[in-house]
Amino acid sequence: MKKLSLRLRLLLFFTGASCLIWLCSGLLSWFECREKIDEFFDQYQILMARQLASADWSSLAPETQNITNKIIKHIHNADEEDEAIGFAVFSHSGEMIFHDNENGKYFPFSPYVGEFRNEKVDEEEWRIVRVYSVDKKYVIAVGQEIEYRTEVTLDMVEEFLTPWLGGLFFLLIIVIYFVGKEFSSLRELTKELKKRRPDDLSALSTVKLPKEIKPLTDAMNGLLKKIDAMLKREKSFISDSAHELRSPLTALKVQLEVLQLTENKSQSLTESLNKMDLCVQRCTRLVEQLLFLSKLESGLTTFDEKEKISWSEIVAITLDEYKENIDNKKQHIITEIGTLSPIEKGNHILLTTLMRNLLDNAVKYSPEGAKITIYISKDRIEVHNSDVKISANHLRHLSERFYRPAGQKENGSGLGLSIVSKIAALHKCKIEFDNQGDGFSVIISNM
Q: Is residue 199 part of a domain?
A: no
Same domain for 289 and 311? no
* Long-range pairs for 47-53: beta carbons < 8 A, 24 or more residues apart: 48/85, 48/87, 48/142, 49/87, 49/129, 49/130, 49/131, 49/140, 49/142, 50/131, 52/87, 52/89, 52/133, 52/140, 52/142, 53/131, 53/132, 53/133, 53/134, 53/140
In CATH, what number is assigned to the domain containing residue 220? 1.10.287.130
Distance CA 229, CA 302 (A): 20
* Domain total in the chain: 3
Give the pLDDT score at 105.
Answer: 87
Q: Count other Cβ atoms within 10 Å, centred on residue 121.
A: 17
Same domain for 143 and 226? no
| Final residue in a domain of this structure, among 278, 296, 314 | 296
Q: Is residue 409 part of a domain?
A: yes
Same domain for 406 and 353? yes
Same domain for 147 and 222? no
Residue 38 sits at φ, ψ, to 5 deg, of: -60, -40
Give the pLDDT score at 290.
Answer: 61
Same domain for 272 and 322? no
Q: Is residue 396 part of a domain?
A: yes
Same domain for 160 and 236? no
* Whether the Cβ atoms of residue 361 and residue 405 lie closer than 8 Å to each other: no
Give the pLDDT score at 401.
Answer: 62
- The parent domain of residue 398 ranges over 301-446
Q: Is residue 163 part of a domain?
A: yes
| Final residue in a domain of this structure, among 144, 169, 194 | 169
Task: Output the tens digit of pLDDT for each of the chain's 447 residues.
Answer: 456 677 788 888 888 888 888 888 888 888 898 999 999 999 999 999 999 888 888 877 777 766 666 655 555 555 544 558 899 999 888 888 888 888 888 899 887 888 899 999 888 899 999 999 988 889 999 999 999 999 888 888 888 888 888 888 888 888 888 877 777 777 777 788 788 777 777 887 777 777 777 787 888 888 888 888 877 777 676 556 656 666 666 677 676 667 666 666 666 666 666 666 666 665 665 566 566 656 665 554 555 556 788 888 888 888 888 888 888 888 898 888 888 888 888 877 778 888 888 888 888 888 888 898 999 988 889 889 888 777 777 776 676 665 555 545 555 556 778 778 888 888 888 888 888 878 888 888 887
In CATH, what number is assigned to the domain containing residue 10? 3.30.450
Q: Is residue 238 part of a domain?
A: yes
Same domain for 160 and 60? yes
Q: Is residue 188 part of a domain?
A: no
In CATH, what number is assigned to the domain containing residue 396? 3.30.565.10
Same domain for 265 and 338? no
Same domain for 223 and 278? yes
Same domain for 57 and 30? yes
Same domain for 22 and 144? yes
Same domain for 326 and 221? no
